[in-house]
Amino acid sequence: MKYNARLSCYAIALLALFAIPAVLTAQFVTIPVETADNALVLQTDKKKNTGIIYFGKKLSDPAEYSLAPAMYKEHGDYGSLLNSAYTPSGSRNLAEPAIAVTHADGNNSLDLQYVSHEQRKISDDISLLSVLLRDPVYDFEVILYYKVYYQENVIEQWSAIRHQEKGDVTLQKFASANLYLKGESFWLRQYHGDWAHEMQPEEARLTHGIKTIDTKLGTRANLFEPSVFMVSLGKPATEDEGTVLYGALEWSGNFKIDLELDPTDNLRIIAGINNYASPYTLKPNEVFTTPAFLYTLSGSGKGAASRQLQQWARKYKLLDGKGSRLTLLNNWESTYFDFNETRLADLLKDTKKLGVDLFLLDDGWFANKYPRNNDRAGLGDWQENKSKLPNGVAALVKEAQSGGVKFGIWVEPEMVNPKSELYEQHPDWVIKQPKREEYYFRNQLVLDLSNPKVQDFVYGILDSLFIKNPGLAYIKWDCNSVIYNAYSAHLKNQSHFYIEYVRGLYKVLERVRAKYPTVPMMLCSGGGGRVDYAALQYFTEFWPSDNTDPLERIFMQWEYSYFYPAISSANHVTDWGKQPIKFRVDVAMMGKLGFDIVVSKLPANDLQFCQEAIQLYNSVKSIIWQGNQYRLADPTAGSVASVLYLDEAKASGIIFNYLVNNRYREGSLLPIRLKGLDPAAKYRLKEVNLYPDTKSTIDAGKTYTGDFLMTVGFNPDLRAARTSVVVQLEQVK
């Protein structure tokens, strides 16, 4: 990493390339970080503190950013650090720091002064700003990085920390980003949950003090709280109105996000790896790079924020975000652990009969000494179970292929049951306290991924599956246990454990992707316990929840959709819930469609419906996956949920409508206003995905202008007899 104390000629030349170059004067430096709609403006003061002087809608004259601070007459920033771009600890800070250190000599103070900055263009859309800060007393530096995705209004921010002191420095805290927002009030929408109850929203006004969203679970870090959140300014943003910031940490382990309403009534957001139990010893010249904190700001409500984030994800983050996905039949809920070759052969035939692309064999196919016939044994022993699969996975892959479908498999490679050969052979690979009683989550323990030997083992599970079965077309990567009794027999410094675990996980995933770059993989974690944008670089989709009751899923998928695109959401039709098959399939279509039902037991009409639904899905999936999503009717606000996916040309779309309240006379009494259409264009709306022998009440012969559909709206005629209605929309040329 190259540090530069002064602006080099190269940097100045680069700056000149930018539409809005940094303004340099004798006293201060102004650095506008601009996207298509917004600006985050950093400015140094006389003492070289780097603060955020503006974060909001872009101004037409960038020279005016510097005029903004004088317009605020708030008092009380005694330490001149409340708006710090990266608050150091132990000097003048009176608020939560972004970074806290113990120097080699035992001193706990840190100050960070501006030294230089550099803006580099990576592509037409992307640029990278780096700002070098240095302590005037200690040989200690931080570089703040801002990766700017101009069109998508997204910024990824992280920091790199380094020192040249005469001995090790301990990083007590090491945030990725430190933001500062001004507003009359701040409204936080955050999420909580548990197994089968993921993504439950709560929205409240932030009061003075610190509100923390964090996790200490180690693995499946999101079980109780994910790192995604949103903050509305002034009042809670609606779908189409209000200023709202979305944030998320790109890290699959412990995180901590502090939202501090400071004494001057402004909001400080400090986000990063959780420093809980994790003081980090940094050697001289070693660079500690934090994960990225991701944020996007919208001045026109939550819908626009989601669309820009979803677009960003598909374009830049999610593995194969612009690609295709496989529909599938999974056997988990139809067989659980109870299957053999004959039963699977039937399921393979059912896969073909149903019309999906792939059969996914779930848990229970492995282990011999302690067979995996329930969740109490066998995890870690990844050899095919000889009595269930005497001819191995290879025979199944072949049989699937000759039957015209693909084959995928479930693994949970980070975990071990104490009742396993792996545990017997490598007790030192297991995370547990040497002197304490073991404590289990789903009867299992977590392997120590900080240990390179364990990384090799975990990589080897995947690698040998692919080597033995080159036709293997899909992996479901599960992770069911949290970390208790955090202790690594491999690490010298136990304080590094939580961080090294996640680094180890990413090293394995890097290796898997280097050799198998395209094979689709589902990120699953005992339901939806693990999804974030660092992990999604390696995965094509995630499992939102084991709760597949479609009524519950309408709400959950709604909340997930604020942050993740539909193409990444694996939605399966199962026997959870009491709704008819049509309702279940319609809900699962709002993402990546799969099934986990006993096809052979489906009544003829249900089967026919599913087969036709899959054909319909195949014809519209590109719009669901790549189109723009408009949330039209909020299920938490009324009796109806409605979501539109519209292609970029505004010519074709598909609207999913559901009745979420079955009280007497409930239905779509009012029309639902569409969004995103061309007001001058004419559209035809046709109900699709009808159950066999039912007729639509919607007249497909009528045409409406986009103006009418967005002003008056359209009524899908939801009522007790029609609880789920899918409408296809086509522009009439």
CB nearer to ligand GLA: pick between 543 and 625? 543
Q: How near is the Cβ of 648 to ligand GLA at its closest, in Å?
A: 34
Least separation in angstroms between residue 330's CB and ligand GLA is: 8
Strand partners, 444: 441
Cβ atoms within 10 Å, residue 225: 20
Q: Using DSSP, state whether 308 is helix, strand or coil.
A: helix
Pick 235 or 442: Cβ nearer ligand GLA: 442
Task: Compare residues 469 and 547 and give the one whose CB is closer to ligand GLA.
Answer: 547
Residue 596 identity: D
Pick 189 or 584: Cβ nearer ligand GLA? 584
- Residue number, nearest CB to ligand GLA: 363
Q: Is the dihedral of CA 105, 111, 116, 122 positive or negative?
A: positive
Measured distance CA(615)–CA(611) in Å, rounded: 7
* Nearest-5° Cα angle at 174, 173 to 180: 100
> Shortest Cβ distance from residue 442 to ligand GLA (Å)?
8
CA distance 631 to 525: 27
Looking at this protein, which amino acid is placed at residue 573?
V
Cα→Cα distances 47→7, 53, 129, 529, Å: 18, 15, 22, 45
CB 49 within 8 A of CB 113: yes
CB of 327 to ligand GLA, least distance (A): 17
Q: What are phi and psi for residue 345, nearest 5 degrees?
A: -60, -40
Going by their DSSP bridges, the two strands 288-289 and 200-205 should be labelled as: unpaired
Nearest approach in angstroms of CB 373 to ligand GLA is 12
Torsion angles phi and psi, residue 289, rounded to 5 = -105, 125
Sheet holding 23-24, edge to edge: 23-24, 29-34, 38-44, 50-57
Query: Which residues are CB-contacts of 426 (< 8 A; sequence separation ≥ 6)?
Result: none
Q: How far is the CB of 525 from ligand GLA (least distance, A)?
A: 7
CB of 545 to ligand GLA, least distance (A): 8
Tokens of 400: 């699937």
Closest contact distance (angstroms) between CB of 544 and ligand GLA is 10
Radius of gyration from C-alpha coordinates of the chain: 27
CB of 198 vs ligand GLA, minimal distance in Å: 11
Of 473 and 729, nearer to ligand GLA (C-beta) is 473
Beta strands 652-659 and 724-732 are: antiparallel
**How far, in Å, are 54, 253, 438, 648 from residue 311 at the CA level?**
25, 25, 45, 11
Query: Least distance (Å) from ligand GLA to the CB of residue 541?
Result: 13
Residue keyed to tokens 């901590």: 256
Residue recorded with tokens 């599960």: 478
**Residue (225 or 362) nearer to ligand GLA, CB:** 362
- The tokens describing 303, both together, are 């819908």
The nearer residue to ligand GLA, 213 or 360, going by C-beta atoms, is 360
Q: Report the residue number, 410 or 683, with the smaller CB distance to ligand GLA.
A: 410
Distance in Å, CB of 203 to ligand GLA, minimum: 28
Binding site for ligand GLA (CB under 6 A): 332, 362-363, 375, 410, 478, 480, 524, 526-527, 543, 546
User: Which stretch of DSSP H or E encloses residue 99?
Assistant: strand 99-102
Q: In the complex with ligand GLA, which residue's Cβ is closer, 141 or 478?
A: 478
Distance from chain centroid for Cα 251: 9
d(CA 295, CA 309): 9
Sequence-separated (6 or more) residues with CB below 8 Å from residue 423: 380, 416, 417, 430, 445
Contacting residues for 664 by C-beta, under 8 A, at least 6 apart: none
* Dist CA 596 CA 329 (whole Å): 6
- CA-CA distances (angstroms) from residue 242 to 320, 522, 527, 541? 32, 35, 33, 30
Task: Please provide residue 722's backbone torsions phi and psi, each rounded to the nearest 5 degrees.
Answer: -140, 75
111 vs 363, beta carbon nearer ligand GLA = 363
Give the Cα separation of 571 and 685 in Å (integer). 25
Q: How far is the CB of 335 from ligand GLA (least distance, A)?
A: 11
Q: How far is the CB of 602 from ligand GLA (least distance, A)?
A: 21
Instruction: Give 250 or 478: the residue with its C-beta nearer to ligand GLA.
Output: 478
C-beta closer to ligand GLA: residue 185 or 373: 373
Nearest to ligand GLA of 336, 487 (CB atom): 336
Of residues 376 and 673, the one with the C-beta less far from ligand GLA: 376
Residue 402, helix vs strand vs coil:
helix
Give 319's strand partners: none
Q: Strands (DSSP E) along 487-547, which ranges?
A: 521-523, 541-542
Residue appearing with tokens 């079965």: 469
We find the least distance from the C-beta atom of residue 478 to ligand GLA, in angstroms, to be 5
d(Cα 102, Cα 105) in Å, to the nearest integer?
8
Q: How far is the CB of 387 from ligand GLA (least distance, A)?
A: 19
Give the nearer residue to ligand GLA in terms of CB position, either 524 or 556.
Answer: 524
The nearer residue to ligand GLA, 299 or 526, going by C-beta atoms, is 526
CB of 416 to ligand GLA, least distance (A): 14
